A and B are shown apart, each in its own frame.
Chain A
Amino acid sequence: MTDLLVPLLLLLGCGAVFRGVDVYGAFLRGAERGLRTLFSMAKALVPLLAILGMLLSSGFPEWLFSVLSPLCNVLGLDPAVLPVILLRPLSGSAALSAASELVKREGASALSSRIALAVLASGETTVYVTGLYLAGRRTRYAPAVLISALAGDLAAAFGAVFLILHFFQNSP
Protein backbone atom coordinates (compact mmCIF):
# COMPACT_ATOMS: atom_id res chain seq x y z
CA MET A 1 0.00 0.00 0.00
CA THR A 2 2.80 2.35 0.78
CA ASP A 3 4.08 1.59 -2.70
CA LEU A 4 1.80 4.21 -4.20
CA LEU A 5 2.32 6.89 -1.59
CA VAL A 6 5.01 8.85 -3.35
CA PRO A 7 3.76 8.36 -6.93
CA LEU A 8 0.33 9.57 -5.87
CA LEU A 9 1.77 12.58 -4.12
CA LEU A 10 3.70 13.34 -7.27
CA LEU A 11 0.56 13.01 -9.39
CA LEU A 12 -1.22 15.36 -7.04
CA GLY A 13 1.59 17.84 -7.21
CA CYS A 14 1.86 17.82 -10.98
CA GLY A 15 -1.90 18.01 -11.17
CA ALA A 16 -1.57 21.51 -9.80
CA VAL A 17 -0.90 22.59 -13.37
CA PHE A 18 -4.65 22.49 -13.89
CA ARG A 19 -5.02 25.12 -11.23
CA GLY A 20 -2.66 27.40 -13.04
CA VAL A 21 0.39 26.65 -10.93
CA ASP A 22 3.77 26.87 -12.62
CA VAL A 23 4.67 23.34 -11.51
CA TYR A 24 8.03 23.22 -13.22
CA GLY A 25 9.03 26.61 -11.89
CA ALA A 26 8.00 25.64 -8.38
CA PHE A 27 9.98 22.45 -8.66
CA LEU A 28 13.07 24.38 -9.65
CA ARG A 29 12.68 26.86 -6.83
CA GLY A 30 12.16 24.13 -4.29
CA ALA A 31 15.04 22.12 -5.69
CA GLU A 32 17.31 25.11 -5.36
CA ARG A 33 16.23 25.47 -1.75
CA GLY A 34 16.92 21.76 -1.29
CA LEU A 35 20.40 22.08 -2.74
CA ARG A 36 21.16 24.87 -0.32
CA THR A 37 19.91 22.68 2.52
CA LEU A 38 22.12 19.88 1.24
CA PHE A 39 25.12 22.15 1.22
CA SER A 40 24.51 23.27 4.78
CA MET A 41 24.05 19.65 5.78
CA ALA A 42 27.40 18.80 4.21
CA LYS A 43 29.09 21.46 6.29
CA ALA A 44 27.86 19.79 9.46
CA LEU A 45 27.97 16.18 8.41
CA VAL A 46 31.60 15.96 7.37
CA PRO A 47 33.12 16.88 10.74
CA LEU A 48 30.42 15.01 12.66
CA LEU A 49 30.67 11.81 10.72
CA ALA A 50 34.46 12.00 10.79
CA ILE A 51 34.52 12.32 14.56
CA LEU A 52 31.85 9.67 14.92
CA GLY A 53 33.90 7.37 12.71
CA MET A 54 36.86 7.89 14.94
CA LEU A 55 34.74 7.14 18.00
CA LEU A 56 33.40 3.97 16.43
CA SER A 57 36.87 2.60 15.77
CA SER A 58 38.21 3.48 19.20
CA GLY A 59 36.76 0.54 21.06
CA PHE A 60 34.12 2.66 22.76
CA PRO A 61 31.07 1.00 21.14
CA GLU A 62 32.17 -2.45 22.26
CA TRP A 63 32.54 -1.24 25.81
CA LEU A 64 29.20 0.59 25.77
CA PHE A 65 27.41 -2.43 24.39
CA SER A 66 28.80 -4.71 27.03
CA VAL A 67 27.63 -2.30 29.71
CA LEU A 68 24.19 -1.71 28.26
CA SER A 69 23.29 -5.06 26.75
CA PRO A 70 21.74 -6.50 29.89
CA LEU A 71 19.36 -3.52 29.93
CA CYS A 72 18.75 -3.83 26.23
CA ASN A 73 18.05 -7.53 26.46
CA VAL A 74 15.42 -6.81 29.05
CA LEU A 75 13.80 -4.27 26.75
CA GLY A 76 14.21 -6.38 23.64
CA LEU A 77 16.32 -3.67 22.04
CA ASP A 78 19.48 -3.98 20.01
CA PRO A 79 22.13 -1.84 21.79
CA ALA A 80 23.41 -0.62 18.43
CA VAL A 81 20.33 1.60 18.24
CA LEU A 82 21.21 3.44 21.46
CA PRO A 83 23.45 6.10 19.92
CA VAL A 84 20.62 7.15 17.61
CA ILE A 85 18.14 7.36 20.46
CA LEU A 86 20.50 9.26 22.72
CA LEU A 87 21.68 11.68 20.06
CA ARG A 88 18.26 12.41 18.55
CA PRO A 89 17.19 15.13 20.99
CA LEU A 90 20.65 16.67 20.95
CA SER A 91 21.53 16.94 17.31
CA GLY A 92 19.73 15.92 14.16
CA SER A 93 22.94 15.68 12.17
CA ALA A 94 24.63 13.50 14.79
CA ALA A 95 21.62 11.21 14.96
CA LEU A 96 21.51 11.07 11.17
CA SER A 97 25.18 10.12 11.10
CA ALA A 98 24.74 7.41 13.72
CA ALA A 99 21.70 5.99 11.95
CA SER A 100 23.33 5.92 8.55
CA GLU A 101 26.41 4.22 9.95
CA LEU A 102 24.20 1.57 11.49
CA VAL A 103 22.27 1.03 8.29
CA LYS A 104 25.48 0.80 6.31
CA ARG A 105 26.81 -1.83 8.71
CA GLU A 106 23.73 -3.95 9.15
CA GLY A 107 21.97 -3.54 5.83
CA ALA A 108 18.60 -1.99 5.18
CA SER A 109 16.43 -4.93 6.13
CA ALA A 110 18.02 -5.54 9.53
CA LEU A 111 15.66 -4.99 12.42
CA SER A 112 18.01 -2.58 14.13
CA SER A 113 18.34 -0.52 10.95
CA ARG A 114 14.60 -0.16 10.61
CA ILE A 115 14.28 0.78 14.27
CA ALA A 116 17.08 3.32 13.99
CA LEU A 117 15.51 4.97 10.96
CA ALA A 118 12.09 5.04 12.59
CA VAL A 119 13.57 6.66 15.69
CA LEU A 120 15.38 9.16 13.49
CA ALA A 121 12.24 10.11 11.61
CA SER A 122 9.84 10.23 14.52
CA GLY A 123 11.97 12.30 16.84
CA GLU A 124 13.13 15.87 16.69
CA THR A 125 16.10 17.94 17.75
CA THR A 126 14.41 18.90 20.99
CA VAL A 127 17.15 21.02 22.45
CA TYR A 128 17.54 23.13 19.32
CA VAL A 129 13.82 23.66 18.77
CA THR A 130 13.15 24.52 22.41
CA GLY A 131 16.02 26.97 22.37
CA LEU A 132 14.82 28.51 19.14
CA TYR A 133 11.25 29.11 20.24
CA LEU A 134 11.91 30.17 23.79
CA ALA A 135 15.04 32.25 23.17
CA GLY A 136 14.81 35.57 24.94
CA ARG A 137 11.23 35.03 26.02
CA ARG A 138 10.43 35.04 29.68
CA THR A 139 8.50 31.99 30.59
CA ARG A 140 8.18 29.88 33.65
CA TYR A 141 7.22 26.94 31.48
CA ALA A 142 10.67 26.38 30.03
CA PRO A 143 11.70 23.45 32.26
CA ALA A 144 8.27 21.87 31.81
CA VAL A 145 8.60 22.16 28.03
CA LEU A 146 12.05 20.61 28.03
CA ILE A 147 11.03 17.70 30.26
CA SER A 148 7.86 17.07 28.28
CA ALA A 149 9.71 17.25 24.98
CA LEU A 150 12.32 14.77 26.15
CA ALA A 151 9.51 12.54 27.37
CA GLY A 152 8.12 12.82 23.87
CA ASP A 153 11.44 11.80 22.32
CA LEU A 154 11.65 8.83 24.67
CA ALA A 155 8.10 7.84 23.81
CA ALA A 156 8.91 8.12 20.11
CA ALA A 157 11.91 5.84 20.58
CA PHE A 158 9.91 3.26 22.51
CA GLY A 159 7.08 3.58 20.02
CA ALA A 160 9.41 3.04 17.10
CA VAL A 161 10.97 -0.01 18.73
CA PHE A 162 7.60 -1.44 19.72
CA LEU A 163 5.90 -0.85 16.38
CA ILE A 164 8.73 -2.15 14.26
CA LEU A 165 9.28 -5.20 16.43
CA HIS A 166 5.65 -6.19 16.51
CA PHE A 167 4.06 -4.95 13.35
CA PHE A 168 6.47 -3.70 10.79
CA GLN A 169 9.39 -6.07 10.83
CA ASN A 170 9.35 -6.44 7.12
CA SER A 171 8.25 -4.09 4.44
CA PRO A 172 4.46 -4.46 4.49
Chain B
Amino acid sequence: MLSALLFSLVFLSLLSALLTGKTASLTPGLLDGAKSALELLLATGGPLVFWSGLSEVFSDAGWIGRLSRLTRPLLRFLLRPKEDCEELWSSLSENFSANLLGIGNAATPAGLRGAELLSRSGDEEGLARLTLLNACSVQLVPFTAASIAASAGDPRPFSLTPAVLGASLFSVLAAFSVFSLLSPLRKGRKSRD
Protein backbone atom coordinates (compact mmCIF):
# COMPACT_ATOMS: atom_id res chain seq x y z
CA MET B 1 0.00 0.00 0.00
CA LEU B 2 2.84 2.29 0.81
CA SER B 3 4.37 1.37 -2.52
CA ALA B 4 1.28 2.66 -4.27
CA LEU B 5 1.62 5.87 -2.30
CA LEU B 6 5.28 6.19 -3.33
CA PHE B 7 4.49 5.70 -6.96
CA SER B 8 1.70 8.28 -6.83
CA LEU B 9 3.96 10.84 -5.20
CA VAL B 10 6.75 10.37 -7.71
CA PHE B 11 4.37 10.45 -10.64
CA LEU B 12 2.69 13.54 -9.29
CA SER B 13 6.04 15.27 -8.85
CA LEU B 14 7.07 14.61 -12.42
CA LEU B 15 3.71 15.64 -13.77
CA SER B 16 3.63 18.87 -11.75
CA ALA B 17 7.18 19.72 -12.70
CA LEU B 18 6.47 19.21 -16.37
CA LEU B 19 3.34 21.33 -16.15
CA THR B 20 4.90 24.15 -14.17
CA GLY B 21 8.28 24.04 -15.87
CA LYS B 22 10.09 23.42 -12.60
CA THR B 23 11.94 20.35 -13.81
CA ALA B 24 15.27 21.78 -12.71
CA SER B 25 14.21 21.72 -9.05
CA LEU B 26 13.29 18.05 -8.99
CA THR B 27 16.67 16.53 -8.26
CA PRO B 28 17.83 19.21 -5.82
CA GLY B 29 14.48 18.78 -4.04
CA LEU B 30 15.03 15.04 -3.82
CA LEU B 31 18.54 15.30 -2.46
CA ASP B 32 17.56 18.00 -0.05
CA GLY B 33 14.76 15.81 1.21
CA ALA B 34 17.10 12.88 1.76
CA LYS B 35 19.42 15.14 3.70
CA SER B 36 16.64 16.50 5.84
CA ALA B 37 15.57 12.98 6.81
CA LEU B 38 18.78 12.38 8.70
CA GLU B 39 18.74 15.91 10.03
CA LEU B 40 15.30 15.24 11.44
CA LEU B 41 16.40 11.97 13.00
CA LEU B 42 19.45 13.57 14.51
CA ALA B 43 17.32 16.30 16.01
CA THR B 44 14.56 14.09 17.36
CA GLY B 45 16.38 10.83 17.96
CA GLY B 46 17.78 11.75 21.34
CA PRO B 47 14.42 12.48 22.94
CA LEU B 48 12.91 9.39 21.35
CA VAL B 49 15.58 7.10 22.78
CA PHE B 50 15.27 8.83 26.13
CA TRP B 51 11.53 8.29 26.23
CA SER B 52 11.91 4.63 25.31
CA GLY B 53 14.27 4.27 28.22
CA LEU B 54 11.90 5.97 30.63
CA SER B 55 8.93 3.89 29.47
CA GLU B 56 10.91 0.76 30.16
CA VAL B 57 11.43 1.98 33.72
CA PHE B 58 7.68 2.50 34.14
CA SER B 59 7.08 -0.91 32.72
CA ASP B 60 9.57 -2.60 35.05
CA ALA B 61 8.12 -0.76 38.02
CA GLY B 62 4.77 -2.30 37.29
CA TRP B 63 3.09 1.04 36.83
CA ILE B 64 1.63 -0.03 33.58
CA GLY B 65 -0.16 -2.71 35.54
CA ARG B 66 -1.33 -0.12 38.05
CA LEU B 67 -2.61 2.13 35.32
CA SER B 68 -4.31 -0.87 33.78
CA ARG B 69 -6.50 -1.47 36.81
CA LEU B 70 -7.64 2.13 36.78
CA THR B 71 -8.65 2.02 33.17
CA ARG B 72 -10.75 -1.11 33.34
CA PRO B 73 -14.17 0.55 33.81
CA LEU B 74 -13.55 2.81 30.86
CA LEU B 75 -12.49 -0.12 28.73
CA ARG B 76 -15.55 -2.08 29.71
CA PHE B 77 -17.70 0.77 28.49
CA LEU B 78 -15.88 1.22 25.21
CA LEU B 79 -15.13 -2.35 24.26
CA ARG B 80 -18.04 -4.30 25.77
CA PRO B 81 -16.41 -7.69 25.60
CA LYS B 82 -18.82 -10.59 25.82
CA GLU B 83 -16.59 -12.68 28.03
CA ASP B 84 -15.11 -11.61 31.29
CA CYS B 85 -11.92 -13.61 31.48
CA GLU B 86 -8.91 -12.34 33.36
CA GLU B 87 -6.41 -13.01 30.61
CA LEU B 88 -8.45 -10.94 28.18
CA TRP B 89 -8.70 -8.05 30.60
CA SER B 90 -5.01 -8.01 31.32
CA SER B 91 -4.18 -7.84 27.58
CA LEU B 92 -6.78 -5.15 26.92
CA SER B 93 -5.64 -3.04 29.86
CA GLU B 94 -1.98 -3.44 29.03
CA ASN B 95 -2.70 -2.44 25.45
CA PHE B 96 -4.58 0.69 26.47
CA SER B 97 -2.13 1.77 29.16
CA ALA B 98 0.89 1.24 26.96
CA ASN B 99 -0.77 3.32 24.24
CA LEU B 100 -1.44 6.06 26.78
CA LEU B 101 2.23 6.19 27.61
CA GLY B 102 3.16 6.07 23.96
CA ILE B 103 4.89 2.69 24.15
CA GLY B 104 3.78 1.24 20.85
CA ASN B 105 6.10 -1.74 21.17
CA ALA B 106 4.39 -2.90 24.34
CA ALA B 107 0.92 -1.91 23.23
CA THR B 108 0.86 -3.86 20.00
CA PRO B 109 1.69 -7.35 21.29
CA ALA B 110 -0.80 -6.94 24.13
CA GLY B 111 -3.41 -5.64 21.71
CA LEU B 112 -2.88 -8.49 19.31
CA ARG B 113 -3.17 -10.99 22.16
CA GLY B 114 -6.49 -9.43 23.09
CA ALA B 115 -7.59 -9.53 19.47
CA GLU B 116 -6.78 -13.22 19.26
CA LEU B 117 -8.77 -13.99 22.41
CA LEU B 118 -11.75 -11.99 21.24
CA SER B 119 -11.61 -13.58 17.84
CA ARG B 120 -11.47 -17.08 19.27
CA SER B 121 -14.45 -16.48 21.50
CA GLY B 122 -16.39 -15.21 18.50
CA ASP B 123 -16.74 -11.72 19.93
CA GLU B 124 -16.74 -9.90 16.61
CA GLU B 125 -17.98 -6.64 17.98
CA GLY B 126 -15.40 -6.66 20.77
CA LEU B 127 -12.67 -7.23 18.21
CA ALA B 128 -13.96 -4.40 16.05
CA ARG B 129 -14.06 -2.05 19.01
CA LEU B 130 -10.58 -3.02 20.13
CA THR B 131 -9.25 -2.30 16.65
CA LEU B 132 -11.04 1.04 16.68
CA LEU B 133 -9.56 1.98 20.03
CA ASN B 134 -6.09 1.28 18.75
CA ALA B 135 -6.76 3.18 15.56
CA CYS B 136 -7.50 6.35 17.57
CA SER B 137 -4.30 7.02 19.39
CA VAL B 138 -4.90 8.44 22.84
CA GLN B 139 -1.57 9.52 24.15
CA LEU B 140 -0.84 11.43 27.29
CA VAL B 141 2.61 12.66 26.31
CA PRO B 142 3.16 13.55 22.64
CA PHE B 143 6.88 12.97 22.68
CA THR B 144 7.53 12.77 18.96
CA ALA B 145 5.62 15.92 18.08
CA ALA B 146 7.20 17.75 20.99
CA SER B 147 10.70 16.83 19.92
CA ILE B 148 10.07 18.16 16.42
CA ALA B 149 8.87 21.40 17.96
CA ALA B 150 11.89 21.53 20.21
CA SER B 151 14.31 20.96 17.38
CA ALA B 152 12.76 23.92 15.56
CA GLY B 153 13.38 26.11 18.57
CA ASP B 154 10.15 25.94 20.53
CA PRO B 155 11.04 26.85 24.14
CA ARG B 156 8.02 25.00 25.54
CA PRO B 157 7.44 22.05 23.24
CA PHE B 158 5.10 20.21 25.57
CA SER B 159 2.63 23.05 25.48
CA LEU B 160 1.01 21.04 22.71
CA THR B 161 -0.06 18.41 25.22
CA PRO B 162 -3.52 19.73 26.18
CA ALA B 163 -4.47 20.33 22.55
CA VAL B 164 -3.30 16.86 21.56
CA LEU B 165 -5.20 15.27 24.40
CA GLY B 166 -8.35 17.20 23.52
CA ALA B 167 -8.08 16.25 19.87
CA SER B 168 -7.55 12.60 20.80
CA LEU B 169 -10.69 12.68 22.89
CA PHE B 170 -12.67 14.15 19.98
CA SER B 171 -11.26 11.34 17.90
CA VAL B 172 -12.42 8.59 20.26
CA LEU B 173 -15.81 10.26 20.66
CA ALA B 174 -16.34 10.53 16.92
CA ALA B 175 -15.03 7.09 16.07
CA PHE B 176 -17.08 5.24 18.68
CA SER B 177 -20.22 7.24 17.97
CA VAL B 178 -19.98 6.50 14.28
CA PHE B 179 -19.32 2.85 15.05
CA SER B 180 -22.31 2.62 17.37
CA LEU B 181 -24.43 4.01 14.57
CA LEU B 182 -23.02 1.70 11.93
CA SER B 183 -22.75 -1.56 13.84
CA PRO B 184 -26.47 -2.34 14.22
CA LEU B 185 -26.68 -2.14 10.44
CA ARG B 186 -24.00 -4.79 10.17
CA LYS B 187 -25.34 -7.09 12.85
CA GLY B 188 -28.14 -8.19 10.58
CA ARG B 189 -25.79 -9.42 7.87
CA LYS B 190 -24.02 -12.74 7.84
CA SER B 191 -20.30 -12.97 8.44
CA ARG B 192 -18.24 -12.45 5.34
CA ASP B 193 -16.22 -15.43 4.29
Contact = CB atoms under 8 A, between A and B. Distances in A.
Interface in B21-66: 21-22, 25-34, 36-38, 40-41, 45, 48-63
Interface of A: 2-3, 5-6, 9-10, 12-14, 16, 19, 21-23, 26-31, 33-35, 37-38, 41-42, 45-60, 62-63, 90-91, 94, 96-97, 99-101, 103-104, 107-109, 113-114, 117-124, 126-127, 129-130, 132-134, 137-145, 147-149, 151-160, 163-164, 167-168, 170-172
A30 B53 contact: yes
Contact of A31 (B52, B183, B185): B52
B178 to A, nearest CB: 4
Contact of B33 (A51, A142, A153): A51
Contact of B37 (A46, A120, A141): A46
Contacts of A5: 141, 158, 161
B160 A118 contact: yes
B86 to A, nearest CB: 21
Interface string B132-157: 10111101011011101110111111
Interface centre among A53, A99, A134 (most CB of B within 10 A): A53
A144 B38 CA distance: 39
Contacts of A156: 136, 167-168, 170-171, 174
B71 interface: no
Given A19-B61, A118-B145, A126 B135 contact: yes
B79 interface: no
Contacts of A119: 167
Given A6-B158, A138-B191, A156-B171, 14 more contacts: A26-B59, A33-B52, A38-B41, A47-B34, A51-B6, A53-B32, A54-B33, A56-B33, A62-B20, A120-B145, A122-B137, A123-B137, A133-B115, A133-B131
Contact of B171 (A13, A51, A99, A122): A122
A58 B20 contact: yes
Interface residues of B, number: 109
B70 interface: no
B112 A144 contact: no
B121 interface: no
3 closest Cβ pairs, A-B complex: A53-B33, A30-B56, A34-B52
B41 A23 contact: no
29 contacts: A26-B59, A27-B56, A31-B49, A31-B56, A35-B49, A45-B37, A46-B38, A49-B40, A54-B29, A54-B33, A58-B12, A100-B36, A113-B149, A114-B149, A117-B145, A117-B146, A118-B160, A121-B137, A124-B137, A126-B135, A137-B115, A141-B183, A142-B192, A148-B182, A149-B131, A152-B171, A155-B175, A167-B163, A168-B160
A42 B48 CA distance: 13
B54 A9 contact: yes
A45 B40 contact: yes
A51 B33 CA distance: 7
A34 B48 contact: yes
B20 A49 contact: no
Nearest to A56: B29
B2 interface: yes
B142 A103 contact: no
A151 B175 contact: yes
A59 B14 CA distance: 10
A127 B72 CA distance: 26
